[in-house]
């Protein structure tokens, strides 16, 4: 049974991602969308936490990166997904936990 966690708030603004990292079981998938995509920017403060949390499978939503002009800066190891990929992630997992 694996769980998908989604985070839509910027970690610089809200503790949602920090709480998700505390409470998600190892092996879970974490999808960053909306303002949270900033956590996947390589070289950022929060990208260190993302890079260090290798017990999770990391995903980031393409549309939110592109809109924000961030698509060239994604941390290696974070998988960029489009909207169809988002749907596939939800379908593949037993449940989805939205951290907002």
Partner 1 sequence: MSRKILFLNRHGPFGSNAGRESLDAALIAAAFDQQVSLLFVDDGVLQLVKNQSDAPLALKDVSPTFKSLGLYEIESVYVDGDSLKARGLTPDDMLVPVAVLEIEGVRALIEAQDAVLGF
The binding site for partner 1 (CB under 8 A) comprises 1, 3, 15-16, 19, 22-25, 95-100
The nearer residue to partner 1, 25 or 87, going by C-beta atoms, is 25
Between CA 50 and CA 41 the distance in angstroms is 10
What does the longest C-alpha to C-alpha distance in the chain come to? 35
Q: How far is the CB of 21 from partner 1 (least distance, A)?
A: 11
Between CA 23 and CA 39 the distance in angstroms is 18
Q: How far is the CB of 30 from partner 1 (least distance, A)?
A: 13
Distances (CA, A) of 100 to 30, 77, 79, 91, 97: 13, 24, 21, 20, 10
The nearer residue to partner 1, 54 or 95, going by C-beta atoms, is 95
Q: How far is the CB of 97 from partner 1 (least distance, A)?
A: 4
The nearer residue to partner 1, 16 or 60, going by C-beta atoms, is 16
């Amino acid at each position: 049974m694996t769980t998908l966690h989604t985070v839509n708030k910027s970690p610089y603004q809200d503790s949602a991602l920090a709480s998700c990292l505390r409470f998600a079981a190892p092996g879970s998938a974490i999808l960053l969308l909306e303002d949270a995509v900033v956590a996947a920017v390589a070289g950022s403060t929060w990208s260190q936490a993302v890079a260090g949390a290798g017990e999770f499978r990391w995903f980031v939503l393409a549309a939110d990166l592109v809109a924000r002009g961030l698509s060239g800066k994604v941390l290696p190891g974070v998988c960029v997904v489009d909207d169809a990929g988002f749907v596939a992630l939800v379908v593949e997992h037993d449940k989805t936990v939205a951290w907002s």
